[in-house]
A and B are shown apart, each in its own frame.
Chain A
């Protein structure tokens, strides 16, 4: 296995100013900016949209209306529930689980990866072995098994499970970075001042990797959403409430693909999920270009 090497840029500036710099660069790259707008819009709609939409209620008189029907812009599903209203409220769980899961796995990766590299010895070997094992087991398979057996009806539990399984890739990358950073003079100086391991690792070393971590956090969000929606689609996660994954599952099972009138029902969650993932990937890619100057025009 070869470790990915990502050049660490501009050592020394504070995390805040670097974050502002990232935002500025994001605005300069059109693709990244469009991605940012898409994600921000979807988050906003999912967060406040449900307050302005009517209750999602089954209505036997209005089953499987086609898109464009009066009062139902995107038609209704096989229980007479409005598709557009479901679309607006359906992003909440998906986005929430995606971000929380990514936050959990990023936090795990930072702590495990940096401690493994900084402390070395048996801590390092334990973390590396553990990461290798988790890396080998196909996460989706493990998720499918665990998701089906434990009743994970709370989104938070689902996020914990998804996040708890997807830390290894980033852990290895963080470990490789800290390995190279800990040899630098300022870390050496901090160590000689006897500032204590937590302080050296989290205050001196980690801020230098802020943008790198942010990028991986977004990759984590993308992966978590991929896994989550997949679980819902197969019906392996509890199908209570309503979100894009559950909509997709119900439309697929009801055979919406064979009925011209209900195409909007199955295509709307697909479009929403694609937009969200596309926005995230566009943001991540332009961030990657900023971080890796070698990818820029030469």
Chain B
């Protein structure tokens, strides 16, 4: 449903944008190459997967049909490149870096959050809470710039020029150890930036969730039964405190994917955010349309997955038969 509305929305958005891209494209083609209106319109039809002369309704129909087949048309900037291939080249790198960072931040955040809750009102809690609040407040792009300035330029820990791109040019993608190493080298800084910006909020949410769980009756009962501390911590408190966090996982994923436009631009990491920036700057409407749709669909899918995961983990929801 959401995908349908967004797909339609993109169609009308492109038609509404100032200087309608379809007409602009036809105008410039006529002016530059001197071809007839029909020829230019045919090119535009190929490019945007819509025929500017057809009635709006049938244009809309063709557009939706093409989308269903995964046909997003061709890039306006680099002729001959399909939008689908642009997305295929760039999207995996974003999914990779964002995915690794999300898992890292989630795991570290949960560990830190539990530690904070168990050491409540000690210096460990105060220190970690301050760090968490600090990291939570800083935008990812600011953190990315600070990483570049201090770790890259000042301390020279990372070679910024070499680390640009998603892998070293000339190296062929393969499942070898060397290539994996190369990938991680290039993704390291974006992963660091994403992890640092999200780990704070995970830790803070986990802290309050753990504190809440610690007050539950079943924890008191478990204590009264004389169960070992580690068993209570892992089996009772930890499990139940983590549950509510899973429902937020998908939301955070969508947020990070959106934020990739900043981080990837700053590090020169060639993922979907990077190509989106180029498409916006170059007014490459077809690519823009495609990326927009794919990002939205991936958020929808992530939401769905998180819902399924959540209901599998939380028996209460399973019994109520949600979803």
Contact = CB atoms under 8 A, between A and B. Distances in A.
Interface of A: 1-2, 31, 129, 132-133, 136-142, 144-145, 148-150, 222, 226, 229-230, 233-234, 236, 248, 252, 257-258, 263, 266-267, 270, 273-274, 277-278, 280-282, 285, 294-295, 297-298
Interface string B16-36: 011000000000000000000
Contacts of A148: 280-281
Contact of A2 (B149, B215, B244, B259): B244
Contacts of B286: none
Range of interface residues on B (Cβ < 8 Å): 35 or more
Interface stretch (B140-148, B177-185, B223-231): B140-148
Given A136-B2, A148-B281, A257-B153, A229 B288 contact: no
B105 interface: no
A30 to B, nearest CB: 11
B281 A133 contact: no
B208 A145 contact: no
Interface in B255-280: 255, 257-259, 261-262, 265-266, 276-277, 280
Interface string B197-217: 000000010001001101100
A231 to B, nearest CB: 9
B277 A234 contact: yes
B137 interface: yes
B293 to A, nearest CB: 10
Given A144-B261, A149-B18, A234-B262, A295 B299 contact: no
A298 B210 CA distance: 12
B232 interface: no
B247 A297 contact: no
B173 interface: no
Contact of B261 (A141, A149, A267, A273): A141
A298 B211 contact: yes
Nearest to A229: B139
**What is the predominant secondary structure among interface residues of chain B facing chain A?**
helix
A141 B208 contact: no
Contacts of A133: 2, 5-6, 9
A45 to B, nearest CB: 19
Given A2-B244, A2-B247, A270-B142, A138 B296 contact: yes
A136 B254 contact: yes
Contacts of A270: 142, 145-146
B262 A230 contact: yes
Contacts of A230: 139, 141, 262
B45 interface: no
B261 A234 contact: yes
Contacts of A257: 145, 148-149, 152-153
B6 A294 contact: no
B2 A266 contact: no
Contact of A252 (B145, B255, B257, B299): B145
Contacts of A266: 145, 149
A138 B295 contact: yes
B68 interface: no
A270 B283 CA distance: 29
Given A233-B262, A258-B153, A295-B211, A273 B139 contact: yes
A74 B211 CA distance: 45
A141 B139 contact: no
Given A141-B295, A257-B145, A274-B138, 17 more contacts: A1-B307, A2-B244, A31-B133, A137-B296, A138-B255, A138-B296, A140-B262, A141-B291, A141-B292, A145-B280, A149-B18, A230-B139, A267-B149, A270-B146, A274-B137, A274-B142, A294-B215
B303 interface: yes
Contacts of B259: 140
Contact of A137 (B6, B145, B247, B277): B6
Nearest to A259: B153
21 contacts: A132-B2, A136-B254, A137-B292, A141-B292, A144-B276, A145-B288, A148-B281, A149-B283, A229-B139, A230-B262, A234-B261, A234-B265, A257-B145, A257-B153, A263-B149, A266-B145, A277-B138, A278-B134, A278-B137, A282-B133, A298-B215
Contacts of B5: 129, 133
Nearest to A288: B208
Interface string B121-143: 10000000000011011110110
B259 to A, nearest CB: 6
B155 interface: no
